[in-house]
Amino acid sequence: MNEQLMDKNEYYCLGVSGGCDSMYLMEHMRLAGYRFCVAHVNYHYREDSDLDQELVEKYCHRYGIPCFVKECNPHEYHQGNFQEQARLIRYHFYKDVMKQHNCIAVVLGHHKDDVIETIVMKQLKHQLVYYLGMKDINKVYGIDVIRPMLSLYKNDIRQYCDVYHVPYRDDYTNFETEFMRDKVRNITLKDLSEEEKERIYNDAREHNKRIENEEFKVKGYYLDYKNKGYLRYKDIQGINKEILFYLILKDLIDIEYISLALIDEIVKQMESSKPNISMDLPVNYVFIKEYDNIFILPKEDNCEYSYLVETREFICPFFTLSDQGHLNEGIYLNDYDFPLVIRSFKNGDKIKTQYGTKKVSRLFIDAKIPMAQRKVWPIVLNQLGEIVLIPNIAKNNDYLSIKPNVFVLK
């Protein structure tokens, strides 16, 4: 187990199902002295799922480990892929437990066989856009996930549990073939030798290295997009647009929804001779090409917004307040500047700059901000109703001289 991924001074949430993988993980983290609580989901999808819950609770009670259980109503599952629904339920529960108990990450018992299954599944789905397999550390639905067991094979984990009497239960549905992952596990990979599995694993690692090299080449364009909120089509000729748009999309959309076909269609639309294009994306986002400008926005029927902001911490679909950021995104605010109003642009907006009072509309034009972006660009007003900041565009002349302590990130 890769203990370098974790810190014994921090507090973690362990996702424990009762299977040998997660019970092995809990046993090792307990013996190594890590601080953690346990989150278990009883989907009531199998008739024996209560036995899984009982096993996990009994182990936690024996060793004084805080254990939190979510019990699901099977009647609430809608038609479709149960595994996808279960995944959403599970991660939302992890997120709730982490927030309530100040956990810095969720730790999961994925292993090397899971990595190989994921590689093969993505190949079968033609999801070769970016990373093949699983990462030791990544974000899922906005939470940090750590997987310290990715170097271990399932057989080694099971053997340890049997030899050292670590209790676990097998989920008999893992041996069925109803879902794609089960088919890959029990049919495609069942008779492969360890050498053949290693070949799949190593080929994927070589693929990932190539992707990382391509990512390095487009990183500057990606950071430029994060800073400005748009890119000019003519500026990204000759680069790997597929990787660039993967990096942009993964900040907005869960990677499960990002396919090669989706990115191919974005690139196709971007390279179309049509000057203006709008393309719907998963999870309420839209890709927009407006002449030479390309960007992705939340899909909103009405983009107008106005928020009363009373603290220095705030997040919404249009902006986030932070104590760090680029100089042009920040401003120094005193307590008497609050509450702020942060809203979308209105006709007639003006800001006092060092060059005199300027119309915000003219500043947008001078900065060549696309029309659709202007509709959602945050305008920051102090409690007196004065515009004090337009991130990356202008600052009020009275707020220029002091080091920023509040950053408004688009």
User: Which two three-digit tokens encode residue 157?
Assistant: 């984990």
Residues 205 and 184 in one domain: no
Q: Residue 100 sits in a domain of what CATH number?
A: 3.40.50.620
Q: How much is the pLDDT for 125?
A: 63
* Residue 47: per-residue pLDDT: 83
Residue burial 252-282, b: 16+ Cβ < 10 Å; e: rest: bbbbeebbbebbeebeebbeeeeeeeebebe
pLDDT in tens, 195-218: 888 888 898 889 889 888 999 999
pLDDT-above-90 percentage for the chain: 52
Q: Which residues contact 202 (CB under 8 A, 6 or more apart)?
A: none
Question: 175 pLDDT band (50/70/90 cuts)?
Answer: very low
Reported residue count of the chain is 410
Find the mean pLDDT for residues 342-359: 94
Domain that holds residue 268: 197-298
pLDDT at 80: 63
Q: What is the spatial distance between Cα 257 and Cα 178, in angstroms, rounded to a whole number?
A: 21
Instruction: Report the pLDDT value the prediction gives residue 254, as an integer from 0 to 100.
Output: 75
User: Does the pLDDT at position 363 exceed 70?
Assistant: yes
Alpha-carbon gap, residue 13 to 195, rounded angstroms: 34
- The predicted pLDDT at position 52 comes to 94
Same domain, 241 and 389: no
Ordered alpha helix ranges (H), 102-193: 112-124, 154-163, 180-183
Please tell me the distance from the alpha carbon of residue 395 to that of residue 353, in angstroms, as a whole number. 7
Mean pLDDT over 9-25 rounds to: 96
89 touches 43 (CB < 8 A): yes
Q: What is the DSSP letter of 406?
A: E
Q: What pLDDT was estimated at residue 173?
A: 56
Shared domain check, 321 and 262: no
285 or 8, which is more confident? 8
Instruction: Identify whether residues 292 and 345 lie together within a single domain.
Output: no
Predicted local distance difference test score (pLDDT) of residue 235: 92
Q: Are residues 266 and 384 in the same domain?
A: no
Q: Is there a single domain that holds both residue 187 and residue 206?
A: no
Ramachandran angles phi, psi of 32, nearest 5°: -85, -10
Strands 231-232 and 293-298, by their bridges, are antiparallel
Is pLDDT at 302 greater than 60 in this prediction? no
pLDDT tens digits, residue range 60-108? Answer: 999 999 999 999 887 766 666 677 788 888 999 999 999 999 999 999 9
Decide: 273 and 292 in contact? Cβ < 8 Å: no
- Paired tokens of 407: 């950053």
165 and 289 part of one domain = no
- Reported as a pLDDT band with limits 50, 70 and 90, residue 177 is very low
Percent of the chain surpassing pLDDT 70 = 92
324-349, pLDDT tens digit by residue?
A: 888 899 999 999 999 999 999 999 99
How far is 316 from 328, CA to CA, in rounded Å? 20
Q: What three-state secondary structure class fits 237?
A: coil
Give the H/E segment covering residue 363. Answer: helix 360-366
- The last residue of a domain, from among 149, 169, 191: 191
**Which of 240, 271, 298 is the C-terminal boundary of a domain?**
298
| Residue 288, CA atoms < 13 Å, CB-side half-sphere | 15
Cis peptide before 378 (omega within 30 of 0): no
Segment 97-151, tens digit of pLDDT: 999 999 999 999 999 988 888 888 777 765 545 778 888 998 888 789 999 999 9
Q: Are 140 and 56 found together in one domain?
A: yes
Q: What is the DSSP string of 279-326?
A: EEETTTEEEEEETTEEEEEE--S----EEEE-SS--B-SS-EEES---
Angle between helices 241-250 and 194-228 (to 10 degrees): 80
- 360 and 351 in contact (C-beta within 8 Å)? yes
268 and 372 housed in the same domain: no
* Domain endpoint, select from 298, 330, 364: 298
Helix (H) or strand (E) holding 142: none
Q: Residues 250, 369: one domain?
A: no
Q: What DSSP assignment string belongs to 12-79?
A: EEEE--SSHHHHHHHHHHHHHT-EEEEEEEE---STTHHHHHHHHHHHHHHHT--EEEEE--GGGPPS
One domain for residues 62 and 160:
yes
Domain with residue 247: its CATH number is: 3.30.465
Average pLDDT for the chain: 87
Burial (Cβ within 10 Å: 0-12, 13-18, ≥19) of residue 17: buried
Q: Both 168 and 215 in a single domain?
A: no
In sequence order, the 6+-apart residues with CB closer than 8 A to the CB of 300 are 317, 376
- What's the DSSP call for residue 184? I
Q: What is the pLDDT of residues 282-301, one digit of tens each?
A: 878 889 888 788 989 877 65
Q: Judging by DSSP bridges, how do beta strands 11-15 and 106-107 pair with one another?
A: parallel
The mean pLDDT value for 303-308 works out to: 87
Tell me how many domains the chain contains.
3
Two structure tokens written together for 331: 């401003």
